[in-house]
Amino acid sequence: MIRYVIDTFTVFQEQYRVMRGAMLTLRLTKWELLGLSLRKAFHDTWIFVSEPMQSWQGLSSATQIAIVVFSAFLAVWSLDRGVGRRRSLKGLGLPVLKISNGTHPWDYKTMLDQGARCYPDQPYIISYAGYEYVVYPSSLFDEVKRLTASKASAIDWFTEVLFQGWRVLGADSSALHKAIAVDLARAVPCRVSQSQSEAEQACDAILSPGLEWQSFPLFSTMQQIVVTTNSTGLVGRRLGSDKRWLNAVQRFPIALMVAIYISHAAPRLLRPLISMIVYLPAKGLFWYMKALAHYDASKDFKEYQETSNNEKQRNLLLKKCGEKFPMAAWLMRRYQPHERNVEQIKHDFVLGSFHATPSIAATLYCIMSELVVRPDIMQELRNELLQVVVVRTPPTAFMSFKM
């Protein structure tokens, strides 16, 4: 660009000197000569610009659209690369783990093992699934754990990275997190026996043990067992046994994952716009689940409102063995005054069911996968279970899982 300006100015000087020599007899002033030179330069520039415009107008409509689309894509891609470099963690000055040849880019176990060998006592950067992460050594665990939410927040990370800032699951769920971390954790031991019974019924209903070999898709089967086992305790027997609710709880994480994969395939600059479209199925399931939970949420809300004195409220908050968790009462006690309504309870019913599904199903899937590839430890696991858990004698069953 600078070179073009210099060349243009040189040509303009030459034209001015030629015109001054040719029109010397006309006795024109310097300003009149300058005006003629500028008009000549403008005329030459217009010819230079108009020729490509005429060529562009001669192209077909399809060619013009293709050129515009390609130019826009190239501009967005260039900006996306620039934003990615600016936001890269490599600017922190930490070492970057170089994956050895032959390692799959998503084989996180091998990558972390290699990182532990190369950098045993210092943080390092690893690239996984299109994102950069800082991996800290185990010696810094206590220090990282003490970080405040303003410095390190898993909720903000999930909202920004997974949902692209589009808050499908709402903005503030602190009351739900505290109810799960404190109230639910304290009440779990009282419900172990009942949870075992519900898990047994779920396995019998889903796996249908028999004398013939059966094949099941591993992850979806584990997810179905987890949803069926957890739903009764979280939202009550009526809603927890409703097939519509169980199906929606299973499909909701899948809808979110599909939206995540599609949005991540687009450049960063276009992700907010694309996310508004690809997250619509998940948002629709979210509204549908809230509609299904309306009756139970309204009933629990009314029951809590009617317990006017503290003694009745304390009795309502207590978890009685053999009953569902009083999730609504726990939530109501922790809500801010403006949050104490049926809509917020429905929201947290859906969010609590979501939190209880993918993580547990993925953990169970990993355990079953490990057993499939290491059948030698199955008997060891059976012996350990027989020592700590009272189980019934299972019927003879033959089954296999599809990975």
Q: pLDDT above 90 covers what percent of the chain?
A: 6
E strand intervals along 158-207: none
Quote the CA–CA distance of 329 and 305 in Å, as a whole number. 10
Give the per-residue pLDDT at 316: 53
Give the per-residue pLDDT at 168: 66
The CA dihedral of 243, 244, 246, 248, to the nearest 10 degrees, is: 160
Helix (H, G, I), strand (E, B) or coil at 82: helix
Burial category of 296 from C-beta neighbours within 10 Å (exposed 0-12, middle 13-18, buried 19 and up)? buried
Task: State yes or no: pLDDT of 220 exceeds 70.
Answer: yes
Helix (H, G, I), strand (E, B) or coil at 128: strand
End-to-end CA distance of the chain: 59
User: Are 125 and 132 in contact, with CB atoms under 8 Å apart?
Assistant: yes
Q: Tell me: the pLDDT tens digits for 58-85?
A: 666 777 677 777 787 777 777 777 766 7
Quote the CA–CA distance of 373 and 5 in Å, as a whole number. 69
Given CA atoms 24, 29, 33, 34 in this order, what sign does their dihedral have?
positive
Per-residue confidence band for 116, with pLDDT thresholds at 50, 70 and 90: confident
Average per-residue pLDDT for the chain: 76
E strand intervals along 35-79: none
3-state SS, one letter per residue, for 369-386: HHHHHCHHHHHHHHHHHH
Give the per-residue pLDDT at 170: 62
Quote the CA–CA distance of 208 and 242 in Å, as a whole number. 19
E strand intervals along 174-283: 213-217
Measured N-to-C along each axis, helices 243-264 and 271-278 cross at an angle, to the nearest 10 degrees, of 160
User: Are 144 and 136 in contact, with CB atoms under 8 Å apart?
Assistant: yes
The DSSP symbol for 395 reads P
Give the per-residue pLDDT at 27: 59
Quote the CA–CA distance of 53 and 316 in Å, as a whole number. 78
User: Are 271 and 76 in contact, with CB atoms under 8 Å apart?
Assistant: no
Give the per-residue pLDDT at 305: 81
As given in the structure block, the two tokens for residue 272 are 């907010």
Helix (H, G, I), strand (E, B) or coil at 129: coil
User: Are 86 and 116 in contact, with CB atoms under 8 Å apart?
Assistant: no
H-run or E-run covering 399:
strand 398-402
Q: Tell me: the pLDDT tens digits for 162-199?
A: 666 566 666 667 788 888 878 777 777 777 777 778 88
